[in-house]
Structure 1
């Protein structure tokens, strides 16, 4: 109730002010532009292969109604056929040749009629094709692709948080000659496009024998200059007195890092974790050059491989795309409360 009262507040007393109308219109358009394509994707993933190809397209998953007619092995599609007298009759289509369709009355299957395809319209009904999601686990090695993506994302995220937080701790709390130059050098790497170093990265991975290995995708991306910058800026806001007090209590540098710096840097770590999950989960270019065997494909490579040159099973492809959105959405929903605090605090100094 409190949330509804907050969302329905108006500037005018008891009525909508013109600024309220503009605000709600702007928010509605933004909401529609952001979530409209996602909702359309989810609804399209519940359509059958035939209904996806229908024109004009429909938002809800409608499928053409079929009926079992005596004398025919398979169910026949149902159409509303316009009669010469102007009436409409429901008939089942036996076959179609060119511009003429052979129809049969389900109530009188012994007699067939020939009608023009322009005189009939399909009879649709709301039908959710849940089999799109269940069939992909039986027809494809979808579980393998899912496990590969989850393994790469989880391991790479853990290593990214660990290595970047170590570097940020050293650059923010240790005073040594050349620390600023090292930090500027790390920041300078942000200006280098990833495609520029793609060939050297591939050669290094090949030399160490990590081609067609999931570790060949994980290791090259664990050191992130964005993560070092974000965590260093946040750790600068942590008082140095806490570290000095821990050292007076004979705490080791590793214990200071593990027991003090990491817990206090939780908001920034959560932001970096979200970024890392999105980077690793949606990464396509690096797995494309490292992985060539189908048994080590990630979900992104699997989605690309299912787009055939002549035939694409769009109903399965859309269902797999929806499944790929779930982990990133779950990670964002779980860690989103840290985003604003982490990003705002990282720019304090």
Structure 2
């Protein structure tokens, strides 16, 4: 398949308004205002025979019963095919308070065939520090399903071993935020760049009336990723200050020249600042075909001898037409796209050309293979 569609996409990206102003909230986040991951281990009950009979599930089941004052003799092997051991995880958003709810995802960690129709029993969700921050419980919503025949044939649609519970966890503990701990706020760029950090600081100083020439500075770039902003200490004023600040618009600096290649899907993205030094490229295909024909050699009826099988090999070499095209100094993305499109190269061919250009030192930009 030729690169016509890919190249049309790249050309459309080239002429798009890449330098449009963007809001601060879309390009940066406030340091200390972040989510926290929670995880827990629990049991899903009420399954229609799609559970499991594993040792750790049995142990968990016995522990759950002991919490209710029910003890089973060690010799008793309970049949618990309607129970499955699961891992439960969730994201604890910033500033969430005890009593509020969050969504949870429930995943089977054993041999359960499906969690469809199951109910998660009370499960503690812990943070990295080992403290319990939420408690999850509720009926699962599972999008997938599976069916199995008596002869062992089966069909599975989506993933029946993963479910979700909307508002399934009740927050029991709040996480302390660093939002009010200092006299300043730190804005962290999502894509670190020294030029963008400098532009961001200048924009804030200009919009808030600061005068760096007279020593009055509100925003100061710390490094390529962070800008420190002096903020009010009073809670209400700080919230209002940040609400105004995050809606300021500015034009970020242009990203570094980069070519990104996904070798698994054949996707190629070329940044607009990629340039080529003088280079000449030829790219052709060499096809070698080897065919072997079996032939039977049989002696004359009056002659003595044995019937033998011989192999005749045919080797054919086919060299496709190669095309040579030249790049002058400072070739732009548009010119590169047009030249490669004229050659009619496939995605794999373009990858080989770009890698060869980099090895030759003719590609001005980073080549990233993912």
| Same fold (TM > 0.5) | no
More helix by share: 1
Q: Kindly name which structure, 1 or 2, has the bigger radius of gyration based on alpha carbons.
A: 2
More strand by share: 2
Q: TM-score, normalised by structure 2?
A: 0.19
Q: TM-score, normalised by structure 1?
A: 0.20
User: Whose RCO is larger (CA < 8 A, sep 6+)?
Assistant: 1
